[in-house]
Chain A
């Protein structure tokens, strides 16, 4: 599936979470490819969490913002929790000024906190539903 490596953002599996670190400038095609790949990987690995690290992103336009929001929605449909981590202050201000406050996307300051958030969310879910398989 991962054919064109140069044109893809790598998705790493970490326990039952998927880790995406965006290190390059996002352009629209890349964002759409990420949405595709991520959807497929969530289904493949039945991941319960998606962590998207955008700490290296200096520019986020409205399209990227919307793509992040739709990734979160898609993941929720597939029973995975999305956390966007490491957003820079300037990016946060830009998104708010664009009117994109990403409702429905969880956020955390850094990858560590984001992982913790995914873990507690998962634990809460298992507590609420003890019959679900914990493996």
Chain B
């Protein structure tokens, strides 16, 4: 196998992942999607590390990626706790909630052209039902909240 073009290909994929993650981090407003974009940038760097490790026939690249996995897991735990706390206080996952920490002389950011509210209800991903539907217990369905 041509090792140089293998390195070239993997570094290209790593650069693409990093760039797309950067776009997501800069442009998206949902805090969870911003977090996903950061993880995507980390994945891009991991791909590059593994490629360089292969090129130099050296384990250190892979060991570095394992350490990055551990750090990413820590980061996910802390970030999710903070996002949940902010959500409990403000009721939004919007990053613009944090503009209340701006300097006193800065103007407030106001959404200019809001998209019109969508008519159709939000479609959630679901699984195709299979088999025979069992009989429902009316008492049980009365207590279950609508999900």
Q: Do A and B come together as binding partners?
A: no
Which residues of A does B touch, CB under 8 Å?
none
